[in-house]
């Protein structure tokens, strides 16, 4: 049964990617000249990605706003990372942002092409040059008014436990003086385990959007202190969600 539903899911994903990418391309061509931040294209992409949880009876996603997200504010958005399903789930927030994603994801037909249309930001793991270029692109993106979304753990957790945070997101916040918006995901780790393609069971996936680290705090604290503060907030919220 798990194999059958997995085949149906990946078949549906393939069909929708082939069908919806041309629409994304038209949106980019038509709105790109006046939609500087590509907000409409990102909203369409959010709709596209949300289909995979809206129409999947095995992945129920709920979103709790424990704080107000200002649609006019630019943020450095960070979250823990448990599964590939997190990507689909976070699109359900319909918050405007640009993903920071590993270069391999940009190579997938249709999905990767759409990531490039949206001007999401690529990083090649293990390359200092790529990391420096990613930081430059992120800073330019933030200064142009688009939030960025980074998983500071750098990769998916294999245990569901919170891993060590890398410093990039917090250095960007310091450079730009922008607030950090933490989000927390729980329940996705077994929905599609790392390295697996088989869907199993019914999973309740929850996203909590918690209090931002304000611009005043960003300016007052060091990057290391911001990293520790953000990680502690995510870890505390994750413990509440697990309890």
E strand or H helix that includes residue 224: helix 223-242
Q: What's domain 2-242's architecture?
A: 3-Layer(aba) Sandwich (3.40)
Residue 172 confidence (pLDDT): 97
Residue 160 confidence (pLDDT): 66
Sheet holding 180-186, edge to edge: 59-65, 203-209, 180-186, 76-79, 147-150, 97-102, 121-123
Q: Rounded mean pLDDT of 214-243?
A: 95
Residue 151 confidence (pLDDT): 96
Q: Rounded CA gap, 21 and 139, in Å?
A: 28
Max Cα–Cα distance, the chain, nearest Å: 54
Q: At residue 181, does pLDDT exceed 80? A: yes
Q: Rounded CA gap, 100 and 122, in Å?
A: 6
Q: Degrees (nearest 5) of the Cα angle 158, 86, 143?
A: 115
Residues 6+ away with beta carbon under 8 Å from 3: 198
Shortest CA distance to 89 belongs to which of 41, 138, 56, 40? 56
Query: In sequence order, which ranges of 32-177 are alpha helices (DSSP H)?
Result: 39-54, 85-91, 111-117, 128-143, 168-176
Residue given tokens 């250095």 in the structure block = 171
Kindly state the tokens that stand for 167: 């410093």
DSSP 8-state symbol, 213? B
Residue 3 confidence (pLDDT): 86
Q: Rounded CA gap, 134 and 122, in Å?
A: 7
Mean pLDDT estimate for the chain: 93
Q: Rounded CA gap, 40 and 47, in Å?
A: 11
Considering only residues 128 and 205, tell me which one the structure prediction assigns the higher pLDDT: 205
Q: How many residues does the chain have?
A: 243
79: which strand partners? 183
* In the chain, domain spans: 2-242
Residue 204 has, within 13 A of its CA and on its CB side, a CA count of 3
Considering only residues 80 and 159, tell me which one the structure prediction assigns the higher pLDDT: 80
Residue 166 confidence (pLDDT): 94
Q: Rounded mean pLDDT of 96-118?
A: 95
């Amino acid at each position: 049964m798990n194999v059958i539903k997995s085949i149906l899911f990946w078949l549906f994903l393939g069909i929708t990617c082939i069908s919806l990418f041309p629409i994304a391309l038209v949106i980019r061509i038509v709105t790109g000249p006046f939609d500087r931040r590509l907000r409409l294209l990102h909203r369409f992409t959010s709709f596209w990605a949300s289909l995979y949880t809206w129409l999947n009876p095995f992945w129920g996603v709920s979103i709790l706003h424990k704080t107000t997200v200002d649609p006019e504010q630019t943020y450095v958005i960070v979250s823990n990372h448990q599964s590939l399903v997190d990507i689909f789930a976070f699109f359900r927030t319909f918050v405007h942002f640009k993903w920071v994603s590993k270069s391999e994801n940009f190579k997938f037909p249709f999905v990767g092409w759409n990531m490039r249309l949206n001007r999401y930001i690529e990083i090649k793991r293990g390359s200092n040059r790529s990391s420096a270029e990613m930081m430059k692109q992120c800073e330019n993106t933030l200064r142009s008014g688009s939030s960025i979304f980074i998983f500071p753990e750098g990769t998916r957790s294999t245990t569901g436990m919170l891993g060590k945070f890398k410093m990039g997101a917090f250095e960007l916040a310091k450079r730009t003086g922008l607030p950090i918006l933490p989000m927390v995901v729980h329940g996705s780790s077994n929905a599609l385990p790392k390295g697996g393609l088989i869907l199993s069971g019914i999973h309740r996936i929850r996203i909590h959007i918690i209090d931002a680290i304000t611009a005043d705090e960003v300016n007052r604290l060091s990057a290391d202190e911001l990293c520790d503060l953000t990680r502690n907030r995510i870890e505390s919220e994750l413990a509440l969600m697990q309890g």
